[in-house]
């Protein structure tokens, strides 16, 4: 029971980091161009994430099946993991979640927009390898559909940023072709509204996509411990808790990442912002409708990059782009290592002390990284400072809440 509570709390914690890690995907461009004030932008995004989390009621119970083999295809947990009140399954899930959170926090500290889904999947893969061996991982699926680590994680990660970049690049090029010479007062207002609209769509899509994953994980833990039996539905309180957690995270605003995406990668103007978000929204919605799993972060970053390529004369900071790609490559293995080590530590210490111990480790790690971030905070008041001041700009005169 204590362990189940830890899993639920940790899952909601992951959902929260998922929220602030991804605020920038939707809102970085609107904040950078001044279409929305920073705090208004994150509040809008939070509300839309909340709505989005409730909108899609498609059962997300089989979310872990994409990468690990702890459930069968109906969503029921594997029988052999259920002895002793599901302790084996809970430990894998808990260790996996901790791996995901640890990596999310580290990349946030460094201001790198890495994929939260990859962090979660990486953590689960590492914990499953540690707990079940190589057979605990669904590497390739069964060859009948796009599945497994290769099909659901690696291939989409390679393709989706390219697709998004092409779409955004073409969109940007067309927009500038059409509106060159149009009086600024029309272009500026028009594209600001366009930007706000498209960014809102991305926030909504994010809520429908990402909150589902945590809902699935929590429900799986509830089923494993016998607290829930329905494989078709998710308990209402889980839905509400996940929606609130992701919205709260979004509202906090991952300013460090917003800054990198909005100011670091490309200097963005309103028409580019609109093209980027339109591309992100369409690619995310089209692919989730076609069952093509992808990371919101990869799409958003690809779009912003594409909009820099599509505008004649715009500058793309390739050094920053390179750092991001590097972070993407490391995300899955790094989270897997943390997940694996956590499982191992938890397993050594026994079925009650173990989970509590690794939870304490997580809290300590999170606290440490938060303190490190406070030393050089990025917040609503300095998020838009000139990129020449560096990733972490000089402190602004007025102190805001840092995140």
Q: Where are the beta strands (DSSP E) in 265-330?
A: none
Q: How far is the CB of 112 from other proteins (least distance, A)?
A: 25
Closer of 287 and 296 to other proteins (Cβ):
287
Stretch that binds other proteins, among 97-105, 252-260, 274-282, 338-346 (CB under 8 A): 274-282
Helix 236-252 vs helix 38-55: angle between axes, to the nearest 10 degrees? Answer: 160
The pair phi, psi for residue 355, each rounded to 5°, is -60, -40
Q: What is the DSSP letter of 154?
A: I
Does 143 engage in binding with other proteins (CB under 8 A)?
Answer: yes
Among the listed residues 24, 216, 271, 340, the single contact to other proteins using CB under 8 A = 271
Q: Which is nearer to other proteins, 183 or 397 (CB)?
A: 183
Question: At closest approach, how far in Å is the CB of 205 from other proteins?
Answer: 8
Nearest to 146 by CA among 294, 285, 286, 279: 294
Residue 239 · residue 164 · CB < 8 Å:
no
Q: How far is the CB of 400 from other proteins (least distance, A)?
A: 33
Of 194, 179, 92, nearest to 133 by C-alpha is 92
**Residue 320: which residues within 8 A CB-CB, separation 6 or more?**
260, 264, 265
Question: Which tokens belong to 189?
Answer: 């207002």
Torsion angle defined by CA atoms of residues 378, 402, 375 and 24, in that order, rounded to the nearest 10 degrees: -40
Chosen residue from 98, 211, 283, 334 binding other proteins by CB under 8 A? 283
Q: Which stretch binds other proteins (CB under 8 A): 51-59, 71-79, 81-89, 333-341?
A: 51-59
Other residues' Cβ atoms within 10 Å of the Cβ of residue 82: 17
Q: Which residues contact 361 (CB under 8 A, 6 or more apart)?
A: 98, 342, 345
| H or E stretch at 249 | helix 236-252
Q: Exactly one of 2, 5, 83, 286 binds other proteins (CB under 8 A); which one? A: 286
Angle made by CA atoms 313, 314, 319, in degrees to the nearest 5: 125
User: Rounded distance, CA 374 to CA 401, Å?
Assistant: 10
Contact between 401 and 379 under an 8 Å Cβ cutoff? The reply is: yes
Q: How far is the CB of 143 from other proteins (least distance, A)?
A: 4
Nearer to other proteins, 168 or 268 (CB): 168
- Count residues contacting other proteins (CB under 8 A)? 61
Per the CB < 8 A criterion, the answer to whether 44 and 200 are in contact is yes
Of the pair 163, 332, the CB lying nearest other proteins is at 163
Would you say 10 or 219 has its CB closer to other proteins? 219
CB of 55 vs other proteins, minimal distance in Å? 5
The encoded tokens of residue 91 equal 């430990």
Least distance from other proteins to the Cβ atom of residue 90, Å: 29
Residue span binding other proteins (CB under 8 A) among the ranges 52-60, 83-91, 116-124, 334-342: 52-60
**Which residue, 95 or 175, has its beta carbon nearer to other proteins?**
175
Which residues on adjacent β-strands are paired with residue 77? 71
Nearer to other proteins, 34 or 226 (CB): 34
By beta-carbon proximity to other proteins, the closer residue of 213 and 259 is: 213
Tell me how far the alpha carbon of residue 161 is from its chain's centroid: 15
Within 287-316, the residues that bind other proteins by CB under 8 A are: 287-292
- Per the listing, tokens 């996509």 go with 209
Site string for other proteins, 146-185 (x = CB under 8 A): xxx-xx---xx--xx--xx-xxx-xx--xx--xx-xxxxx
Residue 185 beta carbon to other proteins: minimum distance, rounded to whole angstroms = 8
Query: Which of these segments, 80-88, 105-113, 114-122, 202-210, binds other proteins (CB under 8 A)?
Result: 202-210
- Residue ranges in contact with other proteins by CB under 8 A: 55-58, 140-141, 143-148, 150-151, 155-156, 159-160, 163-164, 166-168, 170-171, 174-175, 178-179, 181-187, 190-191, 194, 197-198, 201, 204-205, 208, 271, 274-275, 278-279, 281-283, 285-292
């Amino acid at each position: 029971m204590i362990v189940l509570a830890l899993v639920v709390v940790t899952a909601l914690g992951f959902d929260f980091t998922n929220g602030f890690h991804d605020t920038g995907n939707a809102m970085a461009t609107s904040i950078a161009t001044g279409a929305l004030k920073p705090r208004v932008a994150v509040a809008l995004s939070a509300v839309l994430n909340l709505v989005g989390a409730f909108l899609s009621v498609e059962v997300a119970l089989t979310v872990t099946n994409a990468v690990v083999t702890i459930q069968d295809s109906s969503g029921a947990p594997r029988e052999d993991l259920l002895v002793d009140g599901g302790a084996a399954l809970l430990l894998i899930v808990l260790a996996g979640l901790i791996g995901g959170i640890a990596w999310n926090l580290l990349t946030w500290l460094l201001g790198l927009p890495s994929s939260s889904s990859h962090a979660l999947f990486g953590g689960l893969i590492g914990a499953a390898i540690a707990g079940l061996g190589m057979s605990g991982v669904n590497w390739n699926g069964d060859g009948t559909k796009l599945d497994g680590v290769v099909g659901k994680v690696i291939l989409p990660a390679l393709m989706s940023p390219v697709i998004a970049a092409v779409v955004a690049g073409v969109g940007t090029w067309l927009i500038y072709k059409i509106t060159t010479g149009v009086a600024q007062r029309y272009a500026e207002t028009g594209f600001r509204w366009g930007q706000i609209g498209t960014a809102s769509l991305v926030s909504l899509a994010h809520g429908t996509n990402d909150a589902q994953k945590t809902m699935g994980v929590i429900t799986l833990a509830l089923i494993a411990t016998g607290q829930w039996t329905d494989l078709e539905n998710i308990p209402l309180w889980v839905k509400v808790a996940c929606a609130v957690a992701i919205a709260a995270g979004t509202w906090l605003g991952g300013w460090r990442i917003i800054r990198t995406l909005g100011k670091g990668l490309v200097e963005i103007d309103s028409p580019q912002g609109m093209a980027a978000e339109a591309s992100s929204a369409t690619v995310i919605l089209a692919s989730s409708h076609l069952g093509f799993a992808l990371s919101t972060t990869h799409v958003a970053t690809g779009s912003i990059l594409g909009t820099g390529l599509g505008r004649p004369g715009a500058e793309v900071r390739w050094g920053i782009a390179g750092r991001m790609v590097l972070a993407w490559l490391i995300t899955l293995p790094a989270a897997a290592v943390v997940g694996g080590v956590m499982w191992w530590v938890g397993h050594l210490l026994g079925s009650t002390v173990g989970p509590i111990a690794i939870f304490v480790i997580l809290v300590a790690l999170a606290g440490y990284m938060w303190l490190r971030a406070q030393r050089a905070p990025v917040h609503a008041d300095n998020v838009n400072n000139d990129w020449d001041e560096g990733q972490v700009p000089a402190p602004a005169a007025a102190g805001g809440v840092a995140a």
